[in-house]
Amino acid sequence: MTQIPTYADVQDAAKQLKGMAVRTPLVEAHVMGAALGCRLFVKPEVLQRTGSFKFRGAYNRISRLDGAERKRGVVAYSSGNHAQGVAAAATLVGAPSVIVMPSDAPAIKVANTKALGGEVVPYDRFKENREEIGQRIASERGLTLVKPYDDPYVIAGQGTAGLELVEQAKELGAAPDIVVSPCGGGGLVAGCALAVKENLPNATVYGAEPAGLDDTARSLSFGQRVANNPKNTTICDALMAPMPGEITFEVNRKLLKAAIAVTDDEVLSAMKRAFLDLKLVVEPGGAVALAAVLSGKIDVKGKTVAVVCSGGNVDPAMFERALKAP
């Protein structure tokens, strides 16, 4: 097995990211919390560098490359948020970057990746394998492959969001009983779980994912990794990983209570509420954890709850659709 990250790795990542990643705030959602009968906090990673939590893991990994590796550069595959995080982190350390992105990725994510210095290589997500394309480019060009979630440095970097959440809650006189994080390949929720369970061992950590792409929920139930149906789709483009990572699942099967599946309609409603109540622009994949709470799929009454809104890179047309949701 590849090295499984620990809480000490999350602490080390926090030192590596100091002064580079944004310490995003922890905001109390008074109106939503009152309606739910709980105390609700939101961690808006939409305010993170590149508009999502992905910069944390990408920088923690890429900043540790040696001089020769940086000169050759990095390659990654991503629907958009990891792409932007990798491009930004690589540019910061003086490394070229190549990003394999689906041809149907949101235009804003493709444009931002290019603007941040990344060379974009498009592929058909329904006919081609992004992992194979990434490995081939890495071999042909001598590049370092930066995986989107199944890498201990990436997981530890994402975990700094959870570490901040715990610290900020304490500063606000709160100790979350429940923490909910979006879950695609499982890197963010795994890293957050490491930080949360170390500091708040009695807290319950949930993942949230799109209905029909609930591979983590099914994997936890079966006790082994199971894949999604590649034909299933969702508006949550950031959460369409084919199956949980090997490393992320090793962490999540031990630390997560469960993973909650939410519908696209529930996601759109959560995006609308985040905008109306908190003035936050959240993309579909970034809103699944909030959707899991607002939809009543987690019993939060009388609890202190913290939710990660993981990204805000949404095309205007999709955001307009959310604002028109019931």
The residues facing 258 across adjacent strands are 206
Do 25 and 90 lie in a common domain? no
Instruction: Please report the pLDDT score of residue 2 as a whole number.
Output: 61
Q: What secondary structure, in 3-state letters, does 42-79 show?
A: EEEHHHCHHHECHHHHHHHHHCCCCHHHHHHCEEEECC
Q: Are residues 250 and 272 in the same domain?
A: yes
Check whether residue 101 and residue 43 sit in a common domain: no
* Residue 195, domain CATH: 3.40.50.1100
- Do 116 and 199 lie in a common domain? no
207 and 302 share one domain: yes
Q: Please tell me whether residues 132 and 181 are part of one structural domain.
A: no
**What pLDDT does residue 1 have?**
42
Where a domain ends, among 119, 145, 171? 145
Do residues 81 and 52 make contact, with C-beta atoms less than 8 angstroms apart? yes
pLDDT score for 164? 98
Query: Is residue 2 in some structural domain?
Result: no
**For residue 1, is it within any domain?**
no
Same domain, 73 and 188: no
How high is the pLDDT of residue 134? 96
Pair (16, 76) in one structural domain:
no
Domain with 121 in it:
55-145
| 3-state DSSP assignment of residue 209 | strand
Q: Is residue 318 one of the residues assigned to a domain?
A: yes
Three-class SS of residue 163? helix
Q: Do residues 259 and 304 both lie within one domain?
A: yes
| Residue 312 and residue 191 share a domain | yes
10-residue mean pLDDT profile of the chain (326 residues): values are 87 98 98 98 98 98 97 94 97 97 90 96 92 96 96 98 98 98 98 98 98 97 96 94 96 98 98 98 98 98 98 96 96
* Count of domains observed in the chain: 2
Residue 117 in any domain: the answer is: yes
Whole-angstrom Cα distance, residue 166 to residue 176?
8
Q: Is residue 125 part of a domain?
A: yes
Query: Do 91 and 23 reside in the same domain of the chain?
Result: no
Q: What is the DSSP letter of 284?
A: T
Q: Are strands 74-77 and 97-102 parallel, antiparallel or unpaired?
A: parallel
Same domain membership, residue 37 and residue 160? yes
Structural domain contains residue 187: yes
